[in-house]
């Protein structure tokens, strides 16, 4: 049994703790806040992420709180021309390791971050996983005598060394990871000019479809979206996430103009959205999120492995962030289970996830400017060609495979590499 320290108690860290505990490892989570909790609004769990959760026995709990999503629909504002149309049903015959819900249907599940956190946190508590709060980890070191076990040491933000030693460190502390940023593995991080305003509202089923992520666009400088995201634990109110794309340097002007001016802009681009705005009474109810793009040169170093946004961060345009974190946790557990060696698991972990990380990072980086940028040409190309081209069956299936996370079939790849490794042993 290895002793493993996991930095960060978000979805990636909790998922890693669950996955590693379930293969027999001793795990301790470190969280910088006094009380672990979620940050943000709704997110999409694609078929890949749902299958990973199923393997930990958590899919049913997630689906109970989330909202089934069968597709994504994007229209130009205000005329309503469709320029994005993704329906999971075109993949109903998809052959993969995705078991879906037992009847060959594929779909996504939108869920509030608080609800996903609740499911993962409760699963960690049921497993008696140790969680140490109010501890911000800033750096680590490795004892000189590498042959000895438990050679990894952690230091908090004040430079104080923690008493415990570990065999392996898992950094899941997010895109702003202090360890990743200081690492020689860090590649150049690009701060994206566009971010988004997010808020949670009561879902209005009379004016919006409960099984669709819907968006409205005006060129690439305006994007407003509605994502039905289920309900919070112990509450029976259906919710939606409302998001509004905005340049980060325009936030001061938005605040100066005031809430009513922002509401008028939203309604101008999407008239029925006013039904979701009624209970927003203060700009403080909106959360401003900024994004960056980076991918570590390799997601491991001696004694440490990076997962989730600490290893790869980008805009949420493809909706793959949480799914990639779950896949990271699954791949890490599989690699350690097979190698039984903390010195060897990193390279196998990297191999298991290399293809899909490269694909989704590249796709997100390439496609984001079509929806969030100051470009005039790219949205014109989108509005002219995306809709007719996407009607071609092959293209439609490929676009849906990309949006659903099934292009390259990450779980199938991880399992295939695992089987090959097992046969060689």
| pLDDT tens per residue across span 244-280 | 999 999 999 999 999 999 999 999 999 999 999 998 9
3-state secondary structure of 148: coil
- What is the per-residue pLDDT across 93-148, written as a single tens digit (0 to 9) for each? 555 556 555 556 889 999 999 999 999 999 999 999 999 999 999 999 988 665 55
Query: Which residue segments constitute the domains of the chain, with CATH numbers given?
Result: 3-66+110-188+294-424 (3.50.50.60)
Strands 26-30 and 130-132: parallel
CA dihedral 397, 403, 405, 408 (to 10 degrees): 40
> Which residues, including other chains, have CB under 8 Å from residue 386's CB and lie 6 or more apart?
83, 84
- Could you give the CA distance from residue 303 to residue 7 in angstroms, rounded to a whole number? 13
Does residue 150 carry a pLDDT above 80? no
- Measured distance CA(269)–CA(251) in Å, rounded: 19
- Tell me what percent of the residues of the chain surpass a pLDDT of 70: 95
Structure token pair of residue 237: 């109110």
**Which of 30, 398, 323 lies closest to 312 in space, CA to CA?**
323
Please provide the average confidence, as pLDDT, over all residues in the chain: 90
- Asked if residues 180 and 338 have their Cβ atoms less than 8 Å apart, the reply is no
Tell me the pTM: 0.93
Which tens digits make up the pLDDT trace of 10-56? 999 999 999 999 999 999 999 988 887 777 789 999 999 999 999 99
**DSSP code string of 273-327:** GHHHHTT---GGGSEEE--EEEE-SSSEETTEEE-GGGTEE--GGGS-HHHHHHH
Q: What is the pLDDT of residues 326-366, one digit of tens each?
A: 999 999 999 999 998 898 999 999 999 999 999 999 999 99
What CA–CA distance (Å, rounded) separates 335 from 331? 6
Q: Which residue has the higher pLDDT, 164 or 307?
A: 307
Are the CB atoms for 113 and 41 separated by under 8 Å?
A: yes
DSSP 8-state secondary structure symbol assigned to residue 128: T
Of the candidates 422, 189, 172, 407, the residue with the CA atom closest to the CA atom of residue 299: 172
356 preceded by a cis bond (ω within 30 of 0): no
């Amino acid at each position: 049994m290895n002793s493993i320290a996991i930095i960060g108690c978000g979805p990636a860290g909790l998922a890693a703790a669950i996955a590693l505990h379930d293969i027999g490892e001793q795990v301790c989570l470190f969280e910088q806040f006094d009380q672990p909790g979620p940050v943000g609004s709704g997110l999409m769990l694609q078929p890949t992420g749902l299958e990973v959760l199923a393997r930990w026995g958590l899919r049913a709990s997630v689906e109970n709180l989330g909202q089934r999503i069968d597709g994504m629909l994007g229209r130009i504002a205000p005329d309503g021309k469709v320029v994005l149309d993704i329906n999971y049903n075109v993949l109903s015959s998809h052959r993969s390791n995705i078991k879906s819900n037992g009847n060959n249907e594929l779909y996504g599940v939108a869920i509030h971050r608080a609800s996903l956190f609740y499911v993962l946190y409760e699963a960690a508590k049921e497993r008696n996983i140790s969680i140490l709060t109010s501890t911000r980890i800033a750096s680590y070191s490795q004892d000189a005598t590498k042959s000895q076990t438990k050679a990894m040491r952690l230091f908090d933000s004040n430079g104080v060394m923690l008493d415990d030693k570990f065999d392996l460190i898992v950094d899941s502390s997010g895109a702003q990871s202090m360890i990743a940023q200081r690492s020689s593995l860090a590649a150049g991080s690009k701060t994206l000019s566009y971010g988004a305003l997010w808020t949670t509202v009561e879902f209005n089923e009379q004016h919006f479809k409960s099984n669709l992520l819907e968006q409205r666009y005006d060129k690439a400088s305006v994007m407003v979206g509605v994502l039905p995201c289920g309900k919070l634990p112990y509450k029976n109110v259906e919710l939606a996430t409302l998001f509004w794309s905005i340049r980060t340097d325009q936030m001061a002007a938005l605040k100066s103009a005031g809430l009513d001016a922002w509401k008028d802009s939203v309604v101008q681009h999407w008239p029925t959205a006013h039904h979701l705005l009624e209970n927003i009474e203060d700009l403080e109810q909106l959360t401003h999120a900024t994004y960056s793009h980076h991918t570590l040169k390799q997601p491991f170093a001696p004694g440490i492995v990076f997962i989730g946004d600490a290893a790869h961060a980008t805009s949420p345009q493809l909706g793959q962030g949480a799914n990639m974190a779950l896949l990271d946790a699954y791949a890490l557990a599989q690699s350690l289970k097979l190698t039984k060696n903390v010195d060897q698991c990193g390279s196998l972990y990297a191999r298991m996830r290399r293809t899909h990380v490269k694909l989704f990072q590249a796709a997100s980086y390439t496609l984001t400017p079509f929806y969030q940028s100051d470009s005039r040409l790219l949205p014109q190309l989108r509005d002219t060609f995306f809709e007719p081209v996407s009607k071609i069956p092959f293209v439609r299936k490929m676009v849906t495979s990309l949006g659903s996370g099934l292009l390259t079939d990450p779980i199938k790849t991880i399992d295939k590499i695992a089987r090959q490794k097992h046969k060689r042993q």
